[in-house]
Each structure stands twice: as C-alpha cells, then as structure tokens.
C-alpha cells in the first residue's frame, strides 16, 4: 500500500472510515461483519482507522477498540470529540459541545472505549460556534501535553478557522467531505492545508454511494438513513443526478477501473496531502477501494471527469439547512 503523511504519521494512502459499521446508513452490519471488515483492512495494509464518539453513540469506538487492540502498534488511530450522543429523557440525541470540559470528558470516554492509552489523531468533530475555536483547540492541546493525544485535527472547518486554530496548536489534519460532487474544499481550505503542512482527509469520497453506482432508487433507503435528509438524495434531485452516472461509468471503463476506484484515484491525483477514507461494510468492496491507489489517470481523463461532475452539474445542496448551519466550510 502506498503511503501519505499526516502530521508525524505515515499512513496508507487510502485509509478506512469506520462510521458505517455502526452509524448513519440504516441498520448497521453485525458486530461479526464489522470485525471481518476491520481485520481485512488491517491485513490489506490499511494503517489508519477513523472513528468518532458520535458513531453509534460510542458503539463504533467500542467495536474498533475490541477488534484492533491486539494490533494497536500497527496503525494510526483517529477519533473525534466535541460532538457526541447525550442521554435526555426522550432518548439519546446528538449534541455539538466544544467547551473545554466537554472535550476532556469526550476524550476520556473515547480512550476507555478504544481500550488504548493514547489516541494518535484527535479531531474536533464540529466547531461549536458558541465557543471560540481557540478555546476548544487549547483544551485539545492540553490533551497532547497530558500524553492522551498525539496530534490534533479539525472537521468541517473553513480556511479562516483552520488558521486561527493552527496559531494555538499545530493542526495535523482537516477532515471534510470531498469528492467529485462536493468540491467545496477547492474554494480555500485545501490550499490553506497545503500552506500550513496540514493533511486533508476526505470523507465520503465516493459521494455516499453515488459514485460507486450503488444506489439507483432512493425509495429503498432505510427510514433512518441520513441520506433521506440530504437534498441531493431527494427523489427529483437524485433522478437528475442519476443522468450523470452512465457517462461517468464510461469514463471509469476508459480508465480501466470501477466507478468507485475512479472517484478515489481522482482524489489521490488532486494533491499529495489528500488522504481519502472510504467506508464500507463489505470486504469485497474494501479490496476494490484499496486497489484505487494503483490506478493511473491521465490529465485528459481527469479533465473529462471534472467537467462531467462538479458543483454546476450536480443537483441539490450537500446538506439540509439545519446540517449546513452546523458546519463552517466554505460554500459556492
């Protein structure tokens, strides 16, 4: 497996996002299947696993900790705090809370679930706009000094917020959605990362299944699938977006790879500081994704695919108004 750099860590050029083993896309796979995927990734050369306190309200960290603790010295462990499940009278709800005391508690809880003494890369999952970013990152830097965390990251932030945070403590990674159909990082934050020596970790690199040709009918989505609240997956918008798939699949064929591999290879070709973290519940799809690291794309084919799928040709916003209000990323 080819590698890329995130702060002090050399990680597999394509690493694993663990979220959908426990969260977000309807009924998750069994714990046994999750274990199979995690161990297959390790065996295939994946050396960074990305989880969060939020995913499955702790269940994903618990799974990752149980399955991978015997192999802890073989990979970089990334997790996130500042957004987690909180128990209310009417059930567990997602809460964004970037106060220093909450970040400290989130980290302690994550260390326990992950069964480790240190988290290699610890992100602020969302910037809590009620708390200055300098205060949240200051609390995270205390975790570094305490030896509980090795490097810091931010998720879904703008270039301006990254610069403010970086002035408090070096930011090793910014994690944001980035794919052919979500090009927002190209506005400013991708260049800011390059300037500051910050890696850019691309989540949802295959557009939540769209770019793998994995979803033809949105009416089949589970009632709890987060895509049901995303404007691009609304029936009319998705029908329009599906018209892009046939020419996209033709370009994948021209490149000699699968649609998913084309999406991942495109990201790897964009810049050397980008690390995609696709997620999957299938060992076969895992191996397909990882093989994208060896796909070579010509400048001509890259131009064709970028002209086909971009912010002008995709129908619908990436987030609902509520979700958009919770992030700090630049928008077109």
Across the range 145-174, mean pLDDT stands at: 98
Q: Is beta strand 91-96 parallel, antiparallel or unpaired with respect to 83-88?
A: antiparallel
Furthest C-alpha separation in the chain: 57
Asked if residue 225 has pLDDT above 90, the reply is yes
How many whole angstroms separate alpha carbon 18 and alpha carbon 283? 13
Model confidence at 89: pLDDT above 90: no
- pLDDT level of residue 156 (50, 70, 90 thresholds): very high
CATH fold label, 3-325: TIM Barrel (3.20.20)
Quick one: pLDDT at residue 135?
Answer: 98
Which spans in the chain are helix H? 31-43, 59-68, 100-114, 133-145, 159-168, 189-196, 235-242, 245-255, 259-270, 283-290, 299-308, 321-325
Do 262 and 252 meet the contact criterion of CB atoms below 8 Å apart?
A: yes
Average pLDDT value over all residues in the chain? 97
Q: What is the CB neighbour count within 10 angstroms for residue 253?
A: 12
Q: How confident is the model at residue 310 (pLDDT cuts 50, 70, 90)?
A: very high
Mean pLDDT in residue range 204-213: 96
The residue ranges of every structural domain in the chain are: 3-325
pLDDT given at position 10: 98
Encode pLDDT of 241-271 as tens digits: 999 999 999 999 999 999 999 999 999 999 9
- Residue 195: which residues within 8 A CB-CB, separation 6 or more? none
- Can you name the residues that pair with 149 across neighbouring β-strands? 119
Residue 185 DSSP SS3 = helix
pLDDT digits over 29-46, tens only?
999 999 999 999 999 999
Count CB-CB contacts under 10 A for residue 272.
12
Catalytic residue among 55, 178, 248, 319: 55
d(CA 297, CA 313): 22
Q: To the nearest whole percent, how much of the chain has pLDDT over 70? A: 100
Can you give the pLDDT at residue 90? 87
Residue 110 has pLDDT above 90, yes or no: yes
Q: What does the pLDDT read at residue 136?
A: 98
Return the pLDDT at 185.
98
Q: What percentage of the chain reaches a pLDDT higher than 90?
A: 97
| Digit-coded pLDDT (tens) for 269-304 | 999 999 999 999 999 999 999 999 999 999 999 999
- 55 has catalytic annotation: yes
| Cα–Cα distance for residue pair 4/11, rounded to 1 Å | 5
Residue 185 and residue 156: Cα distance in Å, rounded?
9
DSSP for 151-171, please give it.
EEEEES--HHHHHHHHHHS-E
Q: Please list, in sequence order, all residues whose beta carbon lies within 8 angstroms of the beta carbon of residue 85, skipping any fewer than 6 positions away.
A: 53, 54, 57, 58, 92, 93, 94, 95
* Pick from 107-111, 124-128, 211-215: least confident: 211-215
**CA atoms lying within 13 Å on the CB side of residue 142:** 13
């Amino acid at each position: 497996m080819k590698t890329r750099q995130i702060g002090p860590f050399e990680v597999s050029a394509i690493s694993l996002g663990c979220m959908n083993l426990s969260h977000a896309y309807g009924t998750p796979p069994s714990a046994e299947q999750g274990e199979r995927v995690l161990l297959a990734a390790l065996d295939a050369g994946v050396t960074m696993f990305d989880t969060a306190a939020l995913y499955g309200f702790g269940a994903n960290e618990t799974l990752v900790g149980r399955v991978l603790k015997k192999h802890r010295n073989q990979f970089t462990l990334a997790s996130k705090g500042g957004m987690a499940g909180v128990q209310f009278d009417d059930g567990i709800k997602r809460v964004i809370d970037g106060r220093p005391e909450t970040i400290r508690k989130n980290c302690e809880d994550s260390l326990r679930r992950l069964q480790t003494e240190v988290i290699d890369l610890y992100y602020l999952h969302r910037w809590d706009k009620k708390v200055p970013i300098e205060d949240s990152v200051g609390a995270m830097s205390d975790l570094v000094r305490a030896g509980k965390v090795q490097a810091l990251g931010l998720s879904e932030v703008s270039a301006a917020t990254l610069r403010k945070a970086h002035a408090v403590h070096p930011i090793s990674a910014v994690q944001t959605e980035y794919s052919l159909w979500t090009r927002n990082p190209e506005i400013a934050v991708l260049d800011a990362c390059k300037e500051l020596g910050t890696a850019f970790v691309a989540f949802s690199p295959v557009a939540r299944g769209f770019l793998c040709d994995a979803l033809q009918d949105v009416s089949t989505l589970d009632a709890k699938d987060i895509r049901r609240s995303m404007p691009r997956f609304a029936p009319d918008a998705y029908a329009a977006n599906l018209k892009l798939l046939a020419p996209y699949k033709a370009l994948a064929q021209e490149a000699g790879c699968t649609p998913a591999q084309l999406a991942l290879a495109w990201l790897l070709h964009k810049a050397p500081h980008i690390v995609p973290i696709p997620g999957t519940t299938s060992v076969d799809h895992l191996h397909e994704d990882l093989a994208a690291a060896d796909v070579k794309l010509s400048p001509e084919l890259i131009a064709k695919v970028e002209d086909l799928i971009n912010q002008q040709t995709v129908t619908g916003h990436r987030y609902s108004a509520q979700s958009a209000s919770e992030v700090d990323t630049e928008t077109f």
